[in-house]
Structure formats: structure tokens, C-alpha cells
């Protein structure tokens, strides 16, 4: 079964609203999680590294005020797309690092459509 | 910094035949890892195989094997005995402290 749960799988929202996406490690503690974005027929682009108990590290060109990341517990990281616009429509996918086994597990992704 | 290059946007292979998907990398890190993932139309990322830079032997996982040539900085994925279910996008990725940098992907279509 899945070891990383990502919710919701898909979401449709109106322009200007905020959307929260959850990434949860189910049977291990993940002090580090990663958020990726994938436009149609393109590759995954790393957006940010989410660190439990500290601020996220954003990749160049990613607006931290636009994409709020919170990693308040050892099993949960959230990505909030604030004031979403149609150009934010994309597939968002997280991964969680299991340091005990030095393995990376991906969530199933969230398809965001902003109308 | 890592850079991953996949030069084949799309590939066809006949069912039951083998296929090689190309991947080259560029990194200044002395220690790194290379991954291959499969992404079906559902979007999930399925881990296939991993090769560490210090691994002496090429990695193998069932029908998947990695042709790792350090001097050429290539890490090609070989899929043997292709199955219809292998049709998907395939991404090569390199890691730096577990941050994965992905190539542009190769769409593989297996013909019956």
C-alpha cells in the first residue's frame, strides 16, 4: 500500500481562492519532504524542500508568498497555493524522505485546476 | 548542480523486445545517485531502479537494468521483455541530498 498519502487527488477552484494540499507519511517519520510541480507533458520541477520545524527552502523562481509550505509535524507537510490563478493550474506532487531507510517515496499527486 | 538530459521524447518498442532509454547527467558532486521512475497516465511516480555513483556493479531490478557508464556520464535504462503495461513516461533523475532533479522524460509506447 501507499506509504505517502497526498490529498486531495484533484481540486477545482475559482481564481483568487486558496487551496491547501496535504502530504502525509503513513508509517514513517519524514523530517524532509519535497514539493514538485508538473505542467502537462513536461517534467517534474522541484519547488521547495519542506523541513519539519523550520522554514521551507524554495528553489529559484518559486514565490514563497505564493506557495506557502508548512511542515508542523513529522508526518505532515502542506502546500497552500494562495490567491490561485489559472496559470497555477498544474499537477503538484510531493515526496517524503524516510531517513531510516534512506528512501524517497512519492505521493500520488494533486491535479489543480483554477478557473 | 545536477543536470539530467533525456534526448528521446518518444520511443516505440515491440512487445517482448528489449528497449534502452537514454539518460546523461552532469554533476560536480563526487557522490550522487541516479534514479529511474515510471509515470503512467494516472500521474503517480513509480520507482524503478537506483544507481549510486560508487556502486561497482550496474543495478538490476527484475526486468529493469541500468547501464551505468561513469566515464560517459550516462545511466541508460534497459527494459527487457517489454510488456504492454510498460507504456508510460519514464523519467531519469539525479539526486543531491535527496533533492531530485528530473530529466524531460521519454514516452515509451509498447506495440502489441
* pLDDT, chain B, mean: 94
> Rg of chain A's alpha carbons, rounded to an integer?
13
Q: Which residue has the higher pLDDT, A2 or A79?
A: A79
Predicted confidence at residue A103, as pLDDT, reads 84
Contact across the interface for B98 and A111, Cβ inside 8 Å: no
Residue A23 — pLDDT band, cuts 50, 70, 90? Answer: very high
The band of A100, judged by pLDDT with boundaries at 50, 70 and 90, is confident
From residue A47, alpha-carbon distances to A30, A58, A110, B65 in Å are: 18, 6, 14, 30
What's the pLDDT at A57? Answer: 94
pLDDT band at B1 (very low <50, low <70, confident <90, very high): low
Mean pLDDT of A79-99: 95
> A31 to chain B: which residues are within 8 Å by CB?
none
In the predicted model, what is the mean pLDDT of residues B88-109? 93
pLDDT at A53 over 80: yes
Q: What is the mean pLDDT of residues B79-85?
A: 97
SS3 assignment for chain A: CCCEEEECCEEEECCCCCEEEEEEECCCCCCEEEEEEECCCCCEEEEEEEECCCCCEECCCCCCCCEEEEEEECCEEEEEECCCCHHHCEEEEEEEEECCCCEEEECCCEEEEEC
Phi-psi region of B102 (alpha: psi -120 to 50; beta: other; left: phi over 0): beta
What percent of chain A is modeled with pLDDT above 70?
97
Go through B26-53 and write b for each residue having 16 or more CB atoms within 10 A of its CB, e for each that does not. ebeeeebbbbbbbbeeebbbeebbbbeb
Compare all CA atoms of chain A with the CA of B4 and give the residue at the minimum distance.
A43
Question: What pLDDT, on the 0 to 100 scale, is given for residue A9?
Answer: 96
The pLDDT of residue B5 is above 90: yes
What is the number of other CB atoms lying within 10 angstroms of the CB of residue B61?
A: 12
| Kind plus residue range of the DSSP H or E element containing B4 | strand B3-5
Is B34:B92 a contact under the CB 8 Å cutoff? yes
Closest CA to B102 of B90, B111, B110: B90
User: Are B100 and A109 in contact (CB < 8 Å)?
Assistant: no
pLDDT at B108: 98
- Contacts for B25 with CB less than 8 Å, ≥ 6 apart: B2, B3, B4, B5, B32, B34, B73, B74, B75, B92, B94
Q: Are A2 and A108 contacting, i.e. CB atoms less than 8 angstroms apart?
A: yes
- Average pLDDT on A9-16 reads 96
For B52-68, write each residue's pLDDT tens digit. 988 889 999 999 999 99
Is the pLDDT reported for residue B2 higher than 90?
no
Q: From the CA of A14, how many Å to the nearest CA of chain B?
A: 23
Is the pLDDT assigned to residue B97 strictly greater than 90?
no
CB contact under 8 A, B42 and A108: yes
Q: Give pLDDT, residue A69.
A: 95
Q: Across the interface, which of A32, A43, A104 has its CB nearest the CB of B102?
A: A43
What is the structure's pLDDT at A33?
95
What pLDDT does A21 receive?
A: 98
Cell for B83? 510488456
Amino acid at each position: 500500500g501507499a506509504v505517502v498519502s497526498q490529498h486531495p487527488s484533484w481540486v477545482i477552484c475559482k481564481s483568487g481562492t486558496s487551496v491547501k494540499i496535504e502530504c502525509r507519511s503513513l508509517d514513517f517519520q519524514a523530517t524532509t519532504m519535497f514539493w514538485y510541480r508538473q505542467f502537462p507533458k513536461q517534467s517534474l520541477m522541484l519547488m521547495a524542500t519542506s523541513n519539519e520545524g523550520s522554514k521551507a527552502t524554495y528553489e529559484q523562481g518559486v514565490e514563497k508568498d505564493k506557495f506557502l509550505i508548512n511542515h508542523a509535524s513529522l508526518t505532515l507537510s502542506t502546500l497552500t497555493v494562495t490567491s490561485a490563478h489559472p496559470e497555477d493550474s498544474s499537477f503538484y506532487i510531493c515526496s517524503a524522505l524516510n531517513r531510516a531507510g534512506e528512501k524517497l517515496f512519492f505521493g500520488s499527486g494533486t491535479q489543480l485546476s483554477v478557473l | 548542480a545536477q543536470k539530467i538530459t533525456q534526448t528521446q521524447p518518444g520511443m516505440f518498442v515491440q512487445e517482448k523486445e528489449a528497449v534502452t532509454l537514454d539518460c546523461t547527467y552532469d554533476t560536480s558532486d563526487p557522490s550522487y545517485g541516479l534514479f529511474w521512475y515510471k509515470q503512467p497516465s494516472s500521474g503517480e511516480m513509480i520507482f524503478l531502479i537506483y544507481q549510486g555513483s560508487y556502486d561497482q556493479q550496474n543495478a538490476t531490478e527484475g526486468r529493469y537494468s541500468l547501464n551505468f557508464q561513469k566515464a560517459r556520464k550516462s545511466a541508460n535504462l534497459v527494459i527487457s521483455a517489454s510488456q504492454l503495461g510498460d507504456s508510460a513516461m519514464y523519467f531519469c533523475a539525479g539526486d543531491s541530498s535527496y533533492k531530485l532533479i528530473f530529466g524531460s522524460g521519454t514516452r515509451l509506447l509498447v506495440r502489441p
